[in-house]
Amino acid sequence: MFGTRLKIRQWWSNIKLRKNKETTANQVRDNSVVSLVTWSFLKIAILVLFAAIVLFPFFYMLTISVMPKSQAEELQSHFSFWPKSWEWQNYIEAAQGSKDSKGYWYAFWLTFANVIFSIVLKIFVTMLCGYAFSLKKWRGKEVMWGFFISLLVLPEVALLFGQYKVVISLDNQFDVLKSFMGAIAMIALPFVASIFNALMFRNAFEAIPGRIKEVAMVDGAVNAKYLFKIAMPMVQPTTLTVVILTTLASWNSYLWPALLFTGKGYEIMSVWLFEVGRENIDNVTRIHQNIKMAGAVLVILPMFVFYFIFRKRIMSSISRQGSAIKG
């Protein structure tokens, strides 16, 4: 009797298991033409909607940049998208800047020098900092790291007064802001010791497998030799990520350069763009939106070209961040 009951239970369990397998293997599919068309239309509509939200402001900026001044001034009263005539002269006028400006190319090379200087200095400082804190044992490590991490909660604006006071004191003693390289250094130096980037490097160095360190020690690669020949090439995705973040931050920075260079004659891209299209007539400031938008396109263009050329490396480095050294 017991054997018969066991066989019946096993037979019923096999039936249920077979049904579950069939349900899992053959997922419910609606082959209705109406449902397929509706679902495809909804997906396309959602994608088009998000694409329009992202791309419309950019295309609108492009159209305004080639509008005649009369049409651009009428935008305050009524909306118009397509220019009545294509005024490419707006870009030449925008590149010349205002009367007190040194022009687009001066701002471009100043910003470019700031980006290069910031990248080199920030990678050097934050990589060494991250490597030092990735080492397992040294006195005061946890206390210092906890203090540095606590600084991440402070907003950038809260640090501006102290940074400005230090820079102005240096300028009063050594006239550092009178030279081109001194001005570049004063823009970049307050931000090279990035705790966030040091944290990225620390995590990358700590993720290097211990067996690699042991093999390197056997081969004589210790201390600086291990860092430069073994560790640094293995954290290349993190390095590229820091380069990308530093490039964008340096190129788009406005608050600190505007505060530091007021009345000094230096204009990086963001400060230059703020003055483009402004015209003072009888102590009344007028802003020509078409010239302003043309200047904005000129500011965006170098970053757009940079991304277009290096987009594969950029996406690869971001996707490999934190995982490239495994295996």
Give 14-52 pLDDT, tens digit per residue.
777 776 666 655 544 555 677 778 888 999 999 999 999
- Provide the pLDDT confidence category of residue 127 given band limits of 50, 70 and 90: very high
Q: What is the pLDDT of residues 48-87, one digit of tens each?
A: 999 999 899 899 899 999 998 888 888 877 888 888 888 9
> Tokens 């206390």 appear where?
143
Q: Closest Cα partner for 273 from 157, 104, 110?
A: 104
Q: Closest Cα partner for 100 from 304, 220, 317, 280?
A: 280
Torsion of CA 246, 249, 252, 256, to 10 degrees: -120
Query: What share of residues in the chain are helix, strand, coil (percent, to 5)?
Result: 75, 0, 25
pLDDT at 76: 78
Q: What is the pLDDT of residues 262-279, one digit of tens each?
A: 777 788 999 899 888 887
* Long-range CB contacts for residues 262-265, cutoff 8 Å, separation at least 24: 264/177, 264/183, 265/102
At residue 79, the 3 state secondary structure works out as: coil
- Provide the pLDDT confidence category of residue 7 given band limits of 50, 70 and 90: low
Q: Please enumerate in sequence order all residues whose Cβ is within 8 A of that of 58, keeping only pairs 6 or more positions apart, or say none.
A: none
pLDDT at 326: 46
- Dist. CA 87–CA 18, nearest whole Å: 72
C-alpha angle 282/283/287, rounded to 5°?
Answer: 95
Q: What is the pLDDT of residues 285-304, one digit of tens each?
A: 788 888 999 999 999 999 88
Distances (CA, A) of 13 to 18, 23, 38: 9, 15, 40
- Dist. CA 261–CA 183, nearest whole Å: 9
- Provide the pLDDT confidence category of residue 311 given band limits of 50, 70 and 90: confident
pLDDT at 327: 41
C-alpha angle 305/311/316, rounded to 5°?
Answer: 160
- Provide the pLDDT confidence category of residue 281 given band limits of 50, 70 and 90: confident
Domains of the chain (ranges plus CATH)?
98-320 (1.10.3720.10)
pLDDT at 6: 62
Q: What is the pLDDT of residues 102-116, one digit of tens each?
A: 889 999 999 999 999
Mean pLDDT over all residues of the chain?
Answer: 84
Q: Give me the percent of the chain exceeding a pLDDT of 90.
A: 26
CB atoms within 10 A of CB 106: 16
- Dist. CA 11–CA 13, nearest whole Å: 5
pLDDT at 287: 83
pLDDT at 121: 94
| Mean pLDDT, residues 215-223 taken together | 83
